[in-house]
Amino acid sequence: MTRLLPVLLLAACGRLEPQLLVPADVDVPWDASFDGVGDGLVAVVPVDVMMYDANTGSPLADVAVTVAVPDGEAGLVGENDVVVAPPEDAVWDARRDRWVALATDHLAPALTVRTDATGLVRLNVVVDAFEGAPVLVTVSARGVEDAFVVGPR
């Protein structure tokens, strides 16, 4: 029995238990007058999501993580798809009070991004209009799901 105990402990500890770490709900300074769709006024919310092993706390690299928002006036763009820009080429980011250009004219309702070496996925939630309700952001990977909301304050 004494010889089996270390083997049993090793087997139990060696089982990978993927876990997601998502942001707490995000409040965006917003006024209902900003809710004009396509009016050049948006909220760009940078988001970091982490995938890690719940048993060890170690980050899980190269894991496909899917982030999604419901159909509506919000979407997703990659980490590097938002840059500071002059007003004539940009939209106003009401969250950070600055002009930004989006690398795409189409906001994706879902993005699948692989975690980096530190277990992180970085992207941006872009909200054109809240329409009186927060935006639910869902995150899933390896059979694990979680969610958070981006809402007007």
What residue ranges define each of the domains in the chain, with the CATH number in brackets? 15-148 (2.60.40.10)
Average pLDDT, the chain: 90
pTM for the predicted model, two decimal places? 0.86
Q: Are residues 153 and 80 in contact, defined by beta-carbon separation less than 8 angstroms?
A: no
- Tell me how far apart the alpha carbons of residues 21 and 139 are, in angstroms, rounded to a whole number: 9
pLDDT at residue 100, as a whole number: 96
- Whether the per-residue pLDDT at 20 is higher than 90: the answer is yes
Residue 61's alpha-carbon distances to 36, 120, 121, in angstroms, are 40, 8, 10
- Whether the per-residue pLDDT at 1 is higher than 60: the answer is no
Q: For 31-80, what is each residue's pLDDT tens digit?
A: 988 999 989 999 999 999 999 999 999 999 999 999 999 878 899 999 99
